[in-house]
Amino acid sequence: MAVRCHLRLAAAACLALLSVTPACAGGSIAFVDAMQNFDPPSALIDEIEKAAREANVKADEIICDATRFGPQWTRISGGRASPYECPIGKRTLVISGRHEYRDALGKVLPQDGLALEEHAASVRDVDITWEWK
């Protein structure tokens, strides 16, 4: 009986986690458009500029793969969010962040809200980190 209860709690926790994350489908996004979804730290900008120069590519030529919001997200369906995987030359830049959801009035929504998918009108990536692969 106790095992069954623990399994139900674990299943409920998994469902709650899945309800606040974007769908797992990927989608391409221009690098310059991805940069609109977060405030890039100056160190990241410096690294990107250096890598782009070395690879002889312009920022508007870089295409990233990102997580796409599925149809359950009423207002941001089809939008993109981190992680962004951006090939630049022979390396790939992976930019990650925590998703911050806002309602139509710009108020930050709690991550544990069950109606998050209905009320999120925008998403920003915050607490940005990055690594090269």
Q: What is the pLDDT of residues 23-74, one digit of tens each?
A: 445 688 999 999 899 999 999 999 999 999 999 999 889 999 999 999 999 9
Q: For 66-124, what is each residue's pLDDT tens digit?
A: 999 999 999 999 999 999 999 999 999 999 999 999 999 999 998 876 688 899 999 99
Q: Confidence band (pLDDT; 50, 70, 90) for 4?
A: very low
CA distances from 26 to 38, 103, 117 (A): 18, 24, 18
What are the residue ranges spanned by the domains of the chain?
2-132
Phi, psi of 38 (to 5 degrees): -155, 165
Q: Report whether pLDDT(12) > 80.
A: no
**pTM, entire model:** 0.75
Cβ neighbours of residue 12 under 8 Å, at least 6 residues apart? none
* β-pair type (26-30, 122-132): unpaired
